[in-house]
Chains A and B, each alone.
Chain A
Amino acid sequence: MNSFLRISLTFAAAILTAANICAQDIERRDTLDTSYVTAVKEKMRNTTQTGLMRLDGDKLRSGVAVFGTPDIIKHLQMLPGVAAGNELMSGLYVHGGDGADNLFLLDGVPLYNISHFGGFFSSFNTDVVDNLDFYKSGFPARYGGRLSSVVDVETKEGDMHRWHGGASLGLIDGRLHIEGPVWKERTSVNFGLRRSWMDVITIPAIAYANRRNGDGTTARGAYAMWDLNGRITHIIDANNKLNAALYWGEDNLQAGIKDEEDDGLMDLGIRTVWGTLTGSLGWESKYSQQLRGKLLAYYTRSSSDVGYTFDLRFPAAGGGSSSMYWNDDNICAVRDGGLKYDLDWYPNSIHHVRFGAAAAMHGYKTVREYRQRNDFAGLDPEENSDEEGDRYISWEPAVYIEDEIFIAYNFTLNAGLRASLFGTKLKTWGSIEPRAALKWLITNTVCAKLSYTRMSQYAHLVSAMYIDLPTNSWMPSVPGAGPMVSDQVAGGIYLTPGKFKINIEGWYKTMNGMLSYNGANAFYPPLVNWEKSFTTGKGTSYGLELETTWSVPQAELSAYYTLSWSWREFPAYSMFRFPDHNDNRHKVNLVATWHPGKRWSIFANWNYHSGNRITLPSHVIKFEDGTSSLLYQAPYNAKLPDYHRLDLGVDYTVPFSGDRKLNINLSVYNAYNHLNASFAMLDTDSKGEYIGTAYGLVPIIPTISVGYTF
């Protein structure tokens, strides 16, 4: 046994002996090989942090599948400290954040757009997901660039021994997954493909309706989304491994109307394509027993193209025909090219040091391309084209170091520092971000943690709405809209009595330099000089989270409760602080899983939270002539009715020979059909008194999906 393994075993044994609490995730194995020791250290290091939840792929793939597709983001929305925002959307408002301040990493590559279809589905295909680390506080120094959370998704390496996969068909999409060895025990692949199939129905349906209509007017419309995940792993030798990963997802929406008559034509159309492409190449090396490293080169692109066309042809007065045509493309794109080098160093049994450097070049573009052609009979054709917009190139180097220090018998400290720069041709900013997390193992079943983190964010989402639209664009910090910075203190008590796991965490977080759209156009934020339409402010959030889990092999019950406050201070909106849109005072999530037999699994989720905040007139001044004037005291002065919803799911598995099996999932979203208020407006009752009228949009949605695994 070499010295590193000895040291590691000593370290692991000491921790295991001292406190199996907080190391509850440690898997007991009969053989303590090197990878196990590494795993032990990994688990221990992770559990020093507050606000961390690790979810494995199997858990993400099971449960209630809204529209027949398991969704990572909707899974995270159920966790304490997370507000979901608007119903059915992939909003993730963590500890009072604004939804555009979450760092999404797919195999280490940052993603800018994480949803399809305006936010209804997330971009993550659970078929290929291996595990997910979700940080709400206590961020390690190796993460940076966003204020509020880190969602670090790792895809599975393909099976090195045999080929297997699966296919499934849900209410709106179909999925295909396959993995296996290309070169046994040396090279493997893992691919997952999803595609919606709504257009298979809508295109012929619209064509049929057009034929029946028969008045020369035809409509067209189709929507499709797809994504492809791929990962190739090659083991060079015992100390070196290569990984190549790809994600490519797109949404495509086309709609239009065409009015064709004998002597003319009018065609108005919209074509929108948006999506994300990422590619990475990673090289993992073990330089020695004490030092490991990973070099990652990546490219990521998130783009959208919203195009309009207008085509008009008509007979000219003197004979012949004339035509007018214009085409307008609004293109938003952000492209990153980056290099990361992360090193793990175990100098002795006391320290586990992680350090590294990263450099990224960002390209931001919002451009409008305009083409026009007029061809009037008797006149020379006239053509115009133009291109206008903003383009930025920025660079962002960063270095970090963090040390997991086993201070004493029952204290562990993770101390780190991250430093970064962000420069454009306009200005350069810098940030020093201290990170610290302290864990105290009080007894075998009780531990306490405390953390402080500073995070900064240089990229801004230019969006006028709380939902994902292809018209949203990412832009760099510019003078007038500089970086955002958050400071967060979190602490908690963690208990594991018997079959229970109980976590109680609290946090206090401030956010500076937050942006809010302060313009009049909700659909299309500005393409140029975007910062002129935004106003800056601060945010404060604090609260308490309670997480309890009871688990036995056949069942698991989890209950999450969040008591939180989320405030905003935007001088342009109010001299006084006001609640955030997602200031949900109470949030309760009950999650139950039951496996009554080998073939059956039953799931139930109950979700409750205080209503989202809205702005309604609060006061009225009455005049002598019977008229009145409505006034607002503050933004977000009213609360929608409380939100609650029950989701149910049943998995039935039909086993065949070998590993082949058929899986049928029946899910019911909003099982008791409670229409939750999406928004509210002012109204008057029969007596002329003002009342609030809430509007609910999402009824019960039953879905079925069928999957076959081989």
Chain B
Amino acid sequence: MKKFLRALLPAALLPLAFACEFPFPLDDVSEAAIYINYLPSAPYDTPVLQVAFADPAYGKPSPGTRTPSVNDISVTLNGRKAELSSDSFSDGNMLTAILQDCSLRSGDKIEVSVRSDSAPTAYASTIIPPVPVLGSVTMDSVPEDSTQLRFKVKLDRSVQEGEFFGVRILEKNTLITASLMGEGILYKGTSPSAFPPMPVALQIDTNEYYTYKLPGQVATRDDLNSLDLDAFANADYNGYLTEEGINVTGPMMLLTHKQFDSDTYSFYVSRSSGFNWRILFPEGFEFPEPEMPDPVLPDEGETDPGEIDPMPPSVIVIMDNIDYVVEVYRLSEELYNYFKAQYLMRFNLLSNFGVTPPNFTYSNVSGGLGIVAGLSGVRTEWFHHPDNTEGKSIQEVLAELMSGIL
């Protein structure tokens, strides 16, 4: 039905095809304004402060000073002036700067003020919200759905109305690979016992990859039916809480007290395959039919056997270890609203057609536009993927692999 509803969308927009369009003046829509973007967080991060001179989107650009300089910016932390780092840089009308030696804590009040000769002074403030206190966080498999992992985040107390949270989940993929050197024949199967003798030359590498997953809900039919995307409301957040200092933009699930069951929020993550044997096939390779005899040969009548020529696998993954960290954030109300607006901008396709509530970027900057909003976060220890519970060490896996190959 979801597809059907999606198919209806063009039909609903059909009147556009017959609409008569005509330009109309928008010169009075806006005047030049200062834009501020600053999302200070505690306790790990040192986010950047972005300030820009925003021209009216319509009409003539404003004369006068364009890009703000560091001297135009005043940042105070709990009433005391905070210094901006000297290594700020400009890109067009935007200035990017970092606060110097600025370690933030819960309850800190940050005020940002930017003056300009050609636009009204912009001002905004925020207070770093308290760091959420975790009661417990658990991970388990979902018996009824083998493709999902379920996480249950329990706070130390019930969530109240007016409190806003965010959840991110970071996946660490530890990949130990063996690169094959020399010629070989491709055999299908992922079990070591299926491997025939292969060339000896192997290079063992260990790499760690970090990916933020979407900590969403399992879509029930209700969700599909109503397309209740609010259950999946998320926004990209570029910050980090990991000890490793990984700074990766990742989706943050947005939560209010409505999504919590008192003090608990449960979410699901698409389960990555962990701890299995895999062969990374050359790009363009197509799997042979199941009944094809080994070694793989092209189908009868294939006109372009080159595409499925037996090729040696470039890499054998001998261990794929997956771990997760859950990050729980407490968001200031203005940050929640800002993120929610960003989310709606992406998904509410019919908005701004005059028939639904509007799409726009939330702003809490008086005299200008943009966002100054604080957050704080806490992270869990690493959760090991359930499939890792076979309990084999890397050495054991390696030995098994070698015995199969060699």
Q: List 27 A-B contacts (CB under 8 A).
A: A308-B1, A330-B225, A368-B221, A368-B225, A370-B221, A521-B228, A521-B347, A522-B349, A522-B350, A533-B230, A571-B333, A573-B341, A618-B369, A620-B57, A621-B52, A621-B53, A621-B94, A625-B92, A631-B57, A631-B369, A637-B360, A675-B20, A677-B22, A682-B57, A690-B26, A696-B19, A697-B20
Nearest residue (CB) in A for B33 is: A619
Which of B129-137, B152-160, B351-359 lines the interface with chain A? B351-359
Cα(A618)–Cα(B57), bound, Å? 5
Cα(A626)–Cα(B360), bound, Å? 23
Looking at the assembled complex, report how far the CB atom of B136 sits from the nearest CB atom of chain A, in whole angstroms: 25
Interface string of A648-684 (1 = CB under 8 A from B): 0000000000000000000000000001011111110
Cα(A572)–Cα(B230), bound, Å? 14
Chain A contacts of B4 at CB under 8 A? 268, 270, 308, 310
Interface string of B354-395 (1 = CB under 8 A from A): 111111111110100110000000000000000000000000
Looking at the assembled complex, report how far the CB atom of A62 sits from the nearest CB atom of chain B, in whole angstroms: 31
Question: Quick one: given A532-B259, A572-B340, are A677 and B24 in contact (CB under 8 Å)?
Answer: yes
Which of A138-146, A243-251, A511-519 lines the interface with chain B? A511-519
Interface string of A527-561 (1 = CB under 8 A from B): 11101110000000000000000000000000000
Chain B contacts of A618 at CB under 8 A? 29-30, 56-57, 369
Is B343 positioned at the interface, with any CB of A under 8 Å from its CB? Answer: yes
Interface string of B43-55 (1 = CB under 8 A from A): 0000000001111
Is B87 positioned at the interface, with any CB of A under 8 Å from its CB? Answer: no
Cα(A517)–Cα(B229), bound, Å? 12
Question: Quick one: given A520-B347, A619-B57, are A527 and B25 in contact (CB under 8 Å)?
Answer: no
Check B360 against A634 for contact (C-beta < 8 Å): yes
Nearest residue (CB) in A for B50 is: A621
Interface residues on B, range: 35 or more
Nearest residue (CB) in B for A696 is: B20
Nearest residue (CB) in B for A570 is: B357
- Given A526-B222, A532-B258, A617-B57, 12 additional A-B pairs, CB 8 A: A308-B4, A388-B222, A466-B355, A480-B258, A521-B227, A572-B340, A575-B364, A621-B35, A622-B55, A623-B93, A631-B370, A692-B23
Check A621 against B355 for contact (C-beta < 8 Å): no
Cα(A87)–Cα(B334), bound, Å? 35
Looking at the assembled complex, report how far the CB atom of A364 sits from the nearest CB atom of chain B, in whole angstroms: 16
Check A517 against B360 for contact (C-beta < 8 Å): no
Q: Which residues of B contact A (CB under 8 A)?
A: 1, 4-5, 8-9, 12, 15-16, 18-26, 29-30, 32-33, 35, 52-58, 91-94, 161, 220-222, 225-230, 233, 258-259, 333-334, 337, 340-341, 343-344, 346-364, 366, 369-370
Check A631 against B361 for contact (C-beta < 8 Å): yes
Question: Quick one: given A631-B369, A695-B20, are A519 and B230 in contact (CB under 8 Å)?
Answer: yes
Looking at the assembled complex, report how far the CB atom of B160 sits from the nearest CB atom of chain A, in whole angstroms: 12
Is A615 positioned at the interface, with any CB of B under 8 Å from its CB? Answer: yes
Chain A contacts of B29 at CB under 8 A? 616, 618, 637-638, 692
Check B227 against A532 for contact (C-beta < 8 Å): no
Cα(A465)–Cα(B9), bound, Å? 14
Check A678 against B230 for contact (C-beta < 8 Å): no
Check A694 against B22 for contact (C-beta < 8 Å): yes
Check B229 against A641 for contact (C-beta < 8 Å): no
Interface string of A568-590 (1 = CB under 8 A from B): 00011111100001000000000
Looking at the assembled complex, report how far the CB atom of B72 sits from the nearest CB atom of chain A, in whole angstroms: 15
Nearest residue (CB) in B for A633 is: B369
Looking at the assembled complex, report how far the CB atom of A679 sits from the nearest CB atom of chain B, in whole angstroms: 4
Partner of A464, one of B352, B356, B361, B362: B356
Cα(A518)–Cα(B233), bound, Å? 11
Chain A contacts of B346 at CB under 8 A? 520
Is A402 positioned at the interface, with any CB of B under 8 Å from its CB? Answer: no
Check A631 against B54 for contact (C-beta < 8 Å): yes
Partner of B221, one of A388, A635, A675: A388
Check B226 against A616 for contact (C-beta < 8 Å): no
Looking at the assembled complex, report how far the CB atom of B228 sits from the nearest CB atom of chain A, in whole angstroms: 4
Chain A contacts of B25 at CB under 8 A? 692
Check A533 against B228 for contact (C-beta < 8 Å): yes
Chain A interface residue count, Cβ-Cβ cutoff 8 angstroms: 85
Nearest residue (CB) in B for A681 is: B352
Partner of B24, one of A328, A573, A692: A692
Q: Which residues of A contact B (CB under 8 A)?
A: 86, 268, 270, 308, 310, 326, 328, 330, 368, 370, 386, 388-389, 464-467, 480, 516-529, 531-533, 571-576, 581, 612, 614-625, 630-638, 640-641, 675, 677-683, 685, 689-697, 699
Chain B contacts of A575 at CB under 8 A? 334, 363-364, 366
Check A517 against B347 for contact (C-beta < 8 Å): no
Looking at the assembled complex, report how far the CB atom of A267 sits from the nearest CB atom of chain B, in whole angstroms: 12
Check A522 against B356 for contact (C-beta < 8 Å): yes
Chain A contacts of B363 at CB under 8 A? 574-575, 632-634
Check B58 against A632 for contact (C-beta < 8 Å): no
Cα(A143)–Cα(B8), bound, Å? 41
Cα(A103)–Cα(B293), bound, Å? 76
Chain A contacts of B220 at CB under 8 A? 388
Cα(A326)–Cα(B208), bound, Å? 45
Looking at the assembled complex, report how far the CB atom of B113 sits from the nearest CB atom of chain A, in whole angstroms: 16
Check A630 against B57 for contact (C-beta < 8 Å): yes
Check B93 against A691 for contact (C-beta < 8 Å): no
Check A527 against B222 for contact (C-beta < 8 Å): yes
Chain A contacts of B57 at CB under 8 A? 616-620, 630-631, 682, 690
Question: Quick one: given A516-B357, A615-B360, A619-B30, are A695 and B21 in contact (CB under 8 Å)?
Answer: yes
Partner of B94, one of A516, A571, A623: A623
Looking at the assembled complex, report how far the CB atom of A503 sits from the nearest CB atom of chain B, in whole angstroms: 32
Cα(A206)–Cα(B229), bound, Å? 36
Question: Quick one: given A575-B364, A614-B352, A697-B19, are A692 and B58 in contact (CB under 8 Å)?
Answer: yes
Chain A contacts of B359 at CB under 8 A? 615, 632
Chain A contacts of B356 at CB under 8 A? 464-466, 517, 522
Check A691 against B355 for contact (C-beta < 8 Å): no
Looking at the assembled complex, report how far the CB atom of A632 sits from the nearest CB atom of chain B, in whole angstroms: 4
Chain B contacts of A368 at CB under 8 A? 221-222, 225
Looking at the assembled complex, report how far the CB atom of B163 sits from the nearest CB atom of chain A, in whole angstroms: 14
Nearest residue (CB) in A for B15 is: A697
Check B343 against A678 for contact (C-beta < 8 Å): no
Chain A contacts of B8 at CB under 8 A? 523
Chain A contacts of B358 at CB under 8 A? 573, 581, 614-615, 635-636
Looking at the assembled complex, report how far the CB atom of A696 sits from the nearest CB atom of chain B, in whole angstroms: 5
Nearest residue (CB) in B for A467 is: B355
Nearest residue (CB) in B for A521 is: B227
Check B22 against A620 for contact (C-beta < 8 Å): no
Partner of A526, one of B20, B55, B226: B226
Cα(A622)–Cα(B334), bound, Å? 25
Nearest residue (CB) in A for B90 is: A624
Looking at the assembled complex, report how far the CB atom of B123 sits from the nearest CB atom of chain A, in whole angstroms: 12
Check B227 against A635 for contact (C-beta < 8 Å): no
Chain B contacts of A388 at CB under 8 A? 220-222
Chain A contacts of B355 at CB under 8 A? 86, 465-467, 522, 679
Most chain-B CB neighbours within 10 Å: which of A520, A574, A631, A689? A520
Chain A contacts of B344 at CB under 8 A? 518-520
Chain B contacts of A615 at CB under 8 A? 351-352, 358-360
Partner of B58, one of A465, A690, A695: A690
Cα(A466)–Cα(B351), bound, Å? 11
Chain B contacts of A326 at CB under 8 A? 1
Looking at the assembled complex, report how far the CB atom of A527 sits from the nearest CB atom of chain B, in whole angstroms: 5
Check A620 against B54 for contact (C-beta < 8 Å): yes
Chain A contacts of B347 at CB under 8 A? 520-521
Looking at the assembled complex, report how far the CB atom of A286 sits from the nearest CB atom of chain B, in whole angstroms: 50
Chain A contacts of B222 at CB under 8 A? 368, 388-389, 526-528
Nearest residue (CB) in A for B347 is: A520
Chain B contacts of A389 at CB under 8 A? 222
